[in-house]
Amino acid sequence: MGDIKSTLDLVMARTRHLSLSDEERQKQKTKEITLKINGLIQKYLDQGLKIERFQSGWQQIKISNNVSDERLLCTALANKIDLNRDMEILFGLMSALDGLNPAPFKALYKNYQKERAEVAQKLKDSMAIALAEESKISGSAVVPNIEKSVAWTQALKSLHEKYNQYLLEARREFGAV
């Protein structure tokens, strides 16, 4: 009788002759390093690491994976920037690391938040006027819910498109790949 082989044995037997090219190996290594860096950054953002532990973790990644370039870290940090969230912790990390200047991102973040607040206020005011004129509802207790408004969704989408272009350019200048 024949031997019963596991799925793993069958797969290994059929793929024995396959191997990765140098380019594929490099891409795989870069992907693994990027995952480690993203994990380290996320631990820091979750306030599970102090800056010293982050720096030692980054040094370990560099040494164990023979990384001499800071571009992977720059890319990972730049890709973590979300203009709709509080980014002060990330900006603090960038400032604490040698050679990384978060000033362009800070300015972009500040401008985005300012413009978003202005758009929100204009929309609230116009909705309040519309409520007063159409429904005869007015007063200081009336606070329009712009989150449910189609106009807010459209304005936010337009704002995102505009600032995502700025963010992309800032990432390029920062050295993110």
Each residue's pLDDT tens digit, 21-62: 778 888 888 899 999 999 999 999 998 889 999 999 999 999
Q: What is the pLDDT of residue 111?
A: 96
Q: Is residue 105 domain-shared with residue 64, that is, in the same domain?
A: no
Q: Is the pLDDT of residue 11 over 80?
A: no
Asked if 95 and 172 sit in the same domain, the reply is yes
Which pTM does this prediction carry?
Answer: 0.76
User: How far does CA 112 lie from the centroid of its chain?
Assistant: 15
78 domain-assigned: no
Mean per-residue pLDDT, 78-92: 92
Q: What b/e string do you get for 108-131 counting C-beta neighbours within 10 Å, with b at 16 or more?
A: bbeebeeebeebeeebbeebbeee
User: Range of 49's domain?
Assistant: 1-68
* Whether 93 and 160 share a structural domain: yes
- The reply to whether 144 falls in a domain is yes
In a domain, 79, yes or no: no
Per-residue model confidence as pLDDT tens digits over 90-118? 999 999 987 788 999 999 999 999 999 99
Q: Within this chain, do residues 160 and 109 fall inside the same structural domain, yes or no?
A: yes
Say if residue 90 is in the same domain as residue 166. yes
Residue-wise pLDDT for 64-78, tens only, equals: 988 887 888 999 999
CA terminus-to-terminus distance, the chain? 57
